[in-house]
Amino acid sequence: MYQKTIAELAAGLRAGEFSSEELTRSYLDRIEKHDEKLNSVLTLTASAALEAAKAADKRLKNGDATMLTGIPYLHKDIFCTLGVRTSCGSRMLDNFEAPYDATVTAQLKEAGAVMLGKTNMDEFAMGSSNETSFYGPVKNPWDLERVPGGSSGGSAAAVAARLAPLATGTDTGGSIRQPAALCGVTGIKPSYGRVSRFGMIAFASSLDQGGPFATCAEDAAHMLEAMSGFDRRDSTSIDRPVDHYAEGLAEDLCGLKIGLPREYFGEGLDARVGAAVEAAIEEYRTLGAEVREISLPNASLAVPAYYVVAPAECSSNLSRMDGVRFGYRCDNPRDLEDLYTRSRGEGFGAEVKRRIMVGTYALSAGYYDAYYLKAQQVRRMIRDDFVRAFEDVDIIMGPVTPTTAFKLGEKADDPVTMYLSDTYTIAVNLAGLPAMSVPAGMAEGLPVGLQLIGNYFDEGRLLNAAHKFQQVTDWHTRMPAGFE
């Protein structure tokens, strides 16, 4: 069953070939059997899942089911879930149970999707390897000594190992696309404002966007449609109708104009990754697309700009974790100062503290203009590069990551090298554009991702291009060994 697409599962449910309860149980069994190796699931909600599955079965019988009714999924532990702990991968929220559902949680519930549990992640989504989690790293199912990427590493690894057909993620600088690439699954980060951020614990508010992981673009299309939409509880959410992404998947790619940014194929790109990406682009030529080189002149400024803006926002966003009202509180505080410093000192991990300090510095009196303001100006330049590029091309393509999955611990002590692993993904968040990662090859047994970047609200075109590619390739159907 775990090799079926969502459409096939939905058909099976409707035809009575299996019930949602059976489907849910089979995935719960897979998690029980395989996740010990991966550490991708932090909280398994088996009994609630079976209850939801029974309700879904009823709904399927009543004929008011949606595409996702009865379909199991795993939820990144950054989305608040009523009655289920939301830890955000941190000791700080190890005891936190939100008294509300995130909008995305509520939308998936409404659609009838069945939540199996919550997935591991880098602490507060800060990391590119899932090594900053308070609950220990997630392993890459393709090689258990390697990282799955981050911050949505648990979701990516779980879908790669077929522990769930779908999973949610969030992407602030590449946190969906990079783990999708390193784990060989399909992930899409929609345009900023497309998916509500309400109840999605903020890392960097102006960059964060939720999105789905799936094994293929077609499945991702169904999940994205369910997650998207205007939410009046999120002032940055955009009031614009949601496309029926699945309907446009089969569009012909003849005449599609693809741009390859020169800056994404230069120094630092692993040759094997580059070769796989170029081979994938060759497939697009075969499918009738026109490929041309373009330039994103300010691409090299994305990482430095991002590492001012994101820490600045996070330093403020994480101030509420103060040990006063919820979350971790140190033992026997002497006074208020002690309560703050020890609760935060003990509750946060090293990477989170590093970013809070960088961000606090960047916003402080006398440095604001030189750092924060300058970074915002650079951000505008980066956005303008894309706007100009999209005057000539429909989709921008390139690698997602410079290398395939690296070894656990390899970059853990070198933050700057770690930050550079997001060099191709970060600019997209700064610009607020939609982008996705599609399995596009293998290099020495490890998956390589192809990045597709679209114009604002052009998610449909990205999914269409990814789907057509997946119809002529089989990278997305490959599974890591040992998870059968």
Partner 1 sequence: MKWEVVIGLEIHAQLATKSKIFSGASTAYGAAPNTQACAVDLGLPGVLPVLNAGVVSMAAKFGLATHSAVAKRSVFARKNYFYPDLPKGYQISQFELPIVHDGYIDIDLENAETRRIGITRAHLEEDAGKSLHEDFHGETGIDLNRAGTPLLEIVSEPDMRSAREAVAYMKKIHALVRYLGICDGNMQEGSFRCDANVSIRPKGQEAFGTRAEIKNINSFRFVERAINYEIERQIDVIEGGGEVVQETRLYDADRDETRSMRSKEEANDYRYFPDPDLLPLEMDQAFIDAVEKTLPELPDAKRDRFIQAYDLSRYDASALTASRELADFFECTVEAAGGEGKLSANWVMGELSGLLNKEGRDISTSPVSPERLGGMLQRIKDGTISGKIAKQVFEAMWNDEGDADAIIEKKGLKQITDTGAIEKIVRDVLDANPRQVEQYKGGQEKLLGFFVGQVMKATQGKANPGEVNKILKGLLSA
**Helix or strand (DSSP H, E) at 345:** helix 336-347
- Does 363 participate in binding partner 1 (rule CB under 8 A)? yes
- Catalytic annotation present for 19: no
Site string for partner 1, 101-130 (x = CB under 8 A): -x----------------------------
Q: Nearer Cβ to partner 1, position 62 or 235?
A: 235
Among candidate residues 19, 76, 421, 437, the one labeled active-site is 76
- Catalytic annotation present for 151: yes
Binding region for partner 1 (CB under 8 A) out of 91-99, 160-168, 209-217, 259-267: 91-99
How is 27-69 classified by DSSP, letter by letter?
Answer: HHHHHHHHHHHH--EEEE-HHHHHHHHHHHHHHHHHT---TTT
- Catalytic annotation present for 76: yes
Q: Nearer Cβ to partner 1, position 202 or 462?
A: 202
Cα–Cα distance measured from residue 400 to residue 126, given in angstroms and rounded to the nearest whole number? 18
Among candidate residues 20, 151, 237, 343, the one labeled active-site is 151
Amino acid 225 reads E
Cα–Cα distance measured from residue 129 to residue 237, given in angstroms and rounded to the nearest whole number? 29
Smallest distance from the beta carbon of 99 to partner 1, in angstroms?
6
Smallest distance from the beta carbon of 243 to partner 1, in angstroms?
23
| Closest C-alpha to 116, from 61, 77, 171, 64 | 77
Residues 303-342 that bind partner 1 (CB under 8 A): 312-313, 315-316, 318-322, 324-327, 336, 340
Give me Rg for the CA atoms of the chain.
21
CA 200 to chain centre: 12
From candidates 360, 403, 471, 473, binder to partner 1 by CB under 8 A: 360
In the sheet that holds 209-214, the strands lie side by side as: 41-44, 114-119, 72-76, 166-171, 209-214, 186-189, 435-443, 446-454, 395-399, 257-261, 290-294
Residues 6 or more apart whose CB falls under 8 angstroms from that of 275 comprise: 441, 443
Binding region for partner 1 (CB under 8 A) out of 68-76, 92-100, 293-301, 430-438: 92-100
| Closest C-alpha to 224, from 262, 196, 203, 182 | 196
Smallest distance from the beta carbon of 234 to partner 1, in angstroms?
5
Smallest distance from the beta carbon of 71 to partner 1, in angstroms?
24
Binding region for partner 1 (CB under 8 A) out of 18-26, 47-55, 85-93, 458-466: 85-93
Smallest distance from the beta carbon of 305 to partner 1, in angstroms?
15
Kindly state the tokens that stand for 396: 């921008």
| Closest C-alpha to 120, from 92, 146, 157 | 157
Catalytic positions: 76, 151, 175
Interacting residues with partner 1 (CB under 8 A): 79-80, 86, 88, 93, 96, 98-100, 102, 197-202, 204-206, 232-236, 312-313, 315-316, 318-322, 324-327, 336, 340, 360, 363-365, 368, 372
